[in-house]
Amino acid sequence: MRNATAGTRIPLALLLPALVGFAFLVLPMVGLVIRAPWSDLLQRLAEPQVGQALRLSMITATIATAVSMVLGVPIAWVLARSNIRGRSILRALVTVPLVLPPVVGGVALFMVLGRRGIIGSWLYETFGFSLPFTTTAVVIAETFVAMPFLIISVEGALRAADARFEDAAATLGAGGWSTFHRVTLPLVAPGIAAGAVLCWARALGEFGATITFAGNFPGTTQTMPLAVYLALQSDPEAAIVLSLVLLAVSLATLALLRERWLTRR
């Protein structure tokens, strides 16, 4: 790509809104850092409910990512490699959670998996257990919202990968599954890793679907974002501390992704 000639001035009509937009994006984060109670930060971080929420968030986001990989990579493969009919419709359906307001996702999950839900009522009658308001529900809500990120990322990686390597594997006697895990998977591993990081970050920040479907119980369903929201009502400084933690995790994720993208070639 060639840059504009060195002397080109940025037109004022572009420069001004760009500066305002930049400030708009960056200032809130700066504000968060400025207002942080740095003096008793460590002490506040050590408070049990902070650790509890952080641990719960990490665990549920990680499980949600794992579930997304187990279910999402095969979906991505079907979308990228198979020629089944209605593939474009399938792709559209899979990406709906990407644009759906998470609260709506939560309500939808409730309709299916709630105690009176289509599958939930059967679960309750047969096994006597109900999913909503449990840690499992948190994982389900996060998976629902975050898995499309992984699918899109892995499908892109599969499309970019040279499918002729799979032909080569076939001529060497490798069947479909063998080719997939011995050739395809290693080839798209960077794409899967990038997708998993995106997916994990999305799951970590999940709020709407979680609070709708899993509620807000400290220790079982109160993840970091929920804790932040709750703390803001009663103890703003605690909210800032929790937010700082999430900000740090987000920046670390971004750094990880950049590393990935910068070192890919």
Partner 1 sequence: MSLAADIAVQRGSLHLEVAFAVEPGQVLVLLGPNGAGKSSVLRVLAGLLPPDAGLLVLNDAVLDDPSAERHVPPHERPIGMVFQDYLLFPHLSTVDNVAFGLRSKGVPKAQARTAALGWLHRVGLVDYAKAKPGDLSGGQAQRVALARALIGSPELLLLDEPLAALDARTKLEVRADLRRHLSEYQGATVMVSHDPIDAMALADEVAVIEQGRVVQSGPPAELARRPRTDYVARLIGLTLLAGNAEGMQVRLDSGASVAIADPAFGSVYVAIRPETVAIYPAQPHGSPRNVWPARVASATPHGSAVRCDLSGPVPLTADLTATAFAELGLGPGSEVWATVKAHEVEVYAR
Q: Which residues form the interface with partner 1 (CB under 8 A)?
A: 162, 164-165, 167-175, 178-179, 182-183, 186-187, 189
What is d(CA 244, CA 57) in angstroms, rounded to the nearest whole number?
A: 15
Compute the least distance from the CB of residue 194 to partner 1, in Å. Answer: 17
Q: Are 138 and 223 in contact (CB under 8 A)?
A: yes
Alpha carbon 79 to chain centroid, angstroms? 20
> Residues 48-67, buried b or exposed e (16+ Cβ, 10 A)?
eebeebbebbeebbbbbbeb
- Is 35 or 182 the residue whose CB approaches partner 1 more closely? 182
Closer CB to partner 1, residue 168 or residue 254? 168
Rounded least distance, CB 75 to partner 1, Å: 23
Which phi and psi angles does 109 have, rounded to 5°?
Answer: -60, -40
- As measured in angstroms, the least distance from the Cβ of 165 to partner 1 is 6
Alpha carbon distance 18, 265 (integer Å): 31
Of 118 and 172, which CB lies nearer to partner 1 in the complex structure?
172
Rounded least distance, CB 181 to partner 1, Å: 12
Write down the least CB distance from residue 179 to partner 1, Å. Answer: 8
Tell me whether residue 20 or residue 163 sits nearer to partner 1 (CB atom). 163
Q: Which among 106, 119, 110, 77 has a CA at the least distance from the CA of 94? A: 77
Residue 165 or 229: the one with the smaller Cβ distance to partner 1 is 165
d(CA 40, CA 97): 40
